[in-house]
Structure 1
Amino acid sequence: MATKGDLVEWVRDALVAAGGGATILFVAKHIWEHHESELRANDLFFTWHYDMRWAATELRKRGVMVAAEDDRRGKWTLR
């Protein structure tokens, strides 16, 4: 069963698939297209958009993503 923590890897995977940077909308679509059944399997279905943003914050803390203030609004970029 998928958990909030899985979103960290899923966000990173979406950004890798996009060539290192993408809009938040692209990331959400990518996650939905690749993990819909896992999202629907539990309460994560109701929180995954919030959790996706939390995962981006975690990736920034780990130095994997560019800091929000250093990136374009609405775009997420890997370092």
Structure 2
Amino acid sequence: MSDVRHVLVLPDRDAAEEVAQALGDRFGLAEEPQLVRDALAGEDDAEDAQWLVVLEDPEARLNGAELDAFVADWDGWWEAP
């Protein structure tokens, strides 16, 4: 089975860090999620950046709709591949 990567989009770093920690508790992740700052096109201001939480899911056991509902509490969303 091919590796699956899930990307969750969050409005700021604090939310991304909270989600990354909560994901391990909620979904029992084997690997720590990766946090990535995603500056919006043409914007240099750190305030105009979104944060991505990237999850490797080699066994394809995580459900996108479940992840989307989970991050909604932080005003985030699951980015469909």
TM-score surpassing 0.5?
no
* Structure holding more strand per residue: 2
Q: Flag the structure with larger Rg.
A: 2
**TM-score, structure 2 normalization:** 0.33
* Structure holding more helix per residue: 1
